[in-house]
Structure 1
């Protein structure tokens, strides 16, 4: 009798655990009862749709064409480089910018098969569908910066230049010395250390870990104030203006947007960015990496190491800046002019 009860309880626990760790299906835009489709979208090779937003001069008149990749918990509306550039600079230089919702975010269809390579190919297809030409620029912020690494790996032949703004680090990239990643890893809040462990070692638990009530979930997901620097706090009102559509960001479900982002970003990569070769050996383009030395989300010591391993990257470290570096006064213009015109930036 005791044996039978034990078996029943065990089966019940397994069934409960299975249901608890299994995320609900996404609430796909345009599906019955799903969110409405309001943005222009392209249809991708596998039938998915990618929503986008255009900024600046028309692409027919543009001299420079840029694809902007948004960060974690953001959308096509949160394109800092478009919001912070003055209309005079945009018109003078002839800049066209297109931002898009990464899969599962905003109004872009989820991609349960999403990989680092598929994200780069999505960008290539977006460029082709919009008629941006054989080459274009890519700029990525935060988690979007990780996507730029993928572009440098998988579609370097399509790039005129690239900028990574406070790109998120994967602590398990093999090119890092173990002692350095250990030091940087323990700079994170304990709850974020655990969230990253789950995303890397047990991604199938990512949904449960970040929705359960037993342990503190990711502080980044919760937007805890401790993750922001003093400068970030000052810049928050500017960020809030861009994120008036924040409800749309995760409207298709937190798993296919936030948690899959974590699984992809902190999983085991099939390539190490520190093994990449210079995509512009004849200086026909350039790659820039921008980092604030007071960034609490992305440890500056790891970016410094990357810049030494990849000397062809033009590394810009901004004293006193945090994660929202692109929102600081004058920074967006400096980032864009360095990328497009090769202007030297005086750091202070």
Structure 2
């Protein structure tokens, strides 16, 4: 009976066994895994700025980054997006870790020859690979931006007074426990239909403010987080492993990191929504104060989906690449 409770339904696939998945270009990593990627912006051989974009939880390399096309062409920006391990058309990594995320980015950059230094931008759960880059490959970075980055409640530097009463901490703690020790029960819980507010992750108002809800009316949403998708074992396992790495025990605490640009030759940025229901702004402010070399930007009425707000992506690029002061943040809106 215990075995049944922790088992997950087998993966569903419409592809014949010998048919390779997807049509996107892929690279083969040293460990034999394949990583799928997508290129956007100007041609690589004509670019002035090369940026690796890292998607978040339940997303993929098809994520939208709404930078103005005229700006991309004028500045000569090349974007490299990829499916993180297990997502989209990339192979899962059974040894996934915080460090492996940075090493995947480094190997992708090397095989595609985008230069000895490049920029990285991570969104939400895609931000922990950016912390990993700052830790393990800082010499490869030309600059970095973290947009609504997730916060790991296990980081020793977080003041207990800030996290003790945070309901998200207990939610993360219990989800992590079930993900590790009883994945079958967790799978049943997130796909059952009795309590829609807990089973439908895709457009749950518990995680999104009113502006985010407006955004969700205009974008495809997060199909990977739908009940139909999560019922598939491979999808569920990818999400589960990603969650466990992001919120598990790390080999380092981000506030112990050194400034990768001690001569002020570039910069690192955090962008946060004041009304974010997934990551509290108080924790981001705390981290930024402990790391004064990080430039902190807070969108007054922003939720967790500020990357989709008008003006946000342009502001991120101008601050990161041109070191310009961002637009008045209250002008950034859905």
- The residue correspondences of 1:110-129 to structure 2 (distance < 5 A) are 110-129=92-111
- In 2, distance between residues paired with 1:275 and 1:30? 46
Measure how far apart 1:347 and its partner are: 2.8
Contact 1:28-1:252 at 8 Å conserved across structures: no
Contact 1:29-1:36 at 8 Å conserved across structures: no
Measure how far apart 1:269 and its partner are: 1.2
Contact 1:210-1:218 at 8 Å conserved across structures: no
Counterpart residue number, 2:180:
203
Q: Decide which structure has greater helix share.
A: 1
Counterpart residue number, 1:43:
28
| TM-score w.r.t. length of structure 2 | 0.88
Measure how far apart 1:177 and its partner are: 1.0
Number of residue-to-residue matches in the alignment: 324
Cα gap change, 1:269 to 1:215, in 2 (>3 Å): farther
Residue 302 (str. 1) matches residue 287 (str. 2): no
Residue 68 (str. 1) matches residue 53 (str. 2): yes
Larger Rg: 1
Candidates 255, 264, 276, aligned match of 2:245:
264
Contact 2:187-2:236 at 8 Å conserved across structures: no
- In 2, distance between residues paired with 1:220 and 1:267? 24
Candidates 86, 92, 104, aligned match of 2:86:
104
Measure how far apart 1:336 and its partner are: 0.6
Counterpart residue number, 2:75:
93
Instruction: Note the residue ranges of structure 2 that are not aligned, 5 or more in a row.
Output: none
Measure how far apart 1:222 and its partner are: 5.1
Moved more, 192-201 or 331-340: 192-201
Residue 173 (str. 1) matches residue 155 (str. 2): yes
Cα gap change, 1:200 to 1:246, in 2 (>3 Å): closer
Q: CA RMSD in A?
A: 2.8
SS at match of 1:226: coil
Contact 2:86-2:238 at 8 Å conserved across structures: yes
SS at match of 2:182: helix
Cα gap change, 1:262 to 1:245, in 2 (>3 Å): closer
Counterpart residue number, 1:53:
38
Instruction: Note the residue ranges of structure 1 that are not aligned, 5 or more in a row.
Output: 1-15
1:39-70 deviation line (CA, Å, top 9, x unaligned): 11000010000011111001111000000000
Cα gap change, 1:197 to 1:23, in 2 (>3 Å): same
Counterpart residue number, 2:170:
193
- In 2, distance between residues paired with 1:196 and 1:257? 18
Counterpart residue number, 1:13:
none
Cα gap change, 1:182 to 1:41, in 2 (>3 Å): same
- The residue correspondences of 1:239-278 to structure 2 (distance < 5 A) are 239-240=219-220, 253-278=234-259
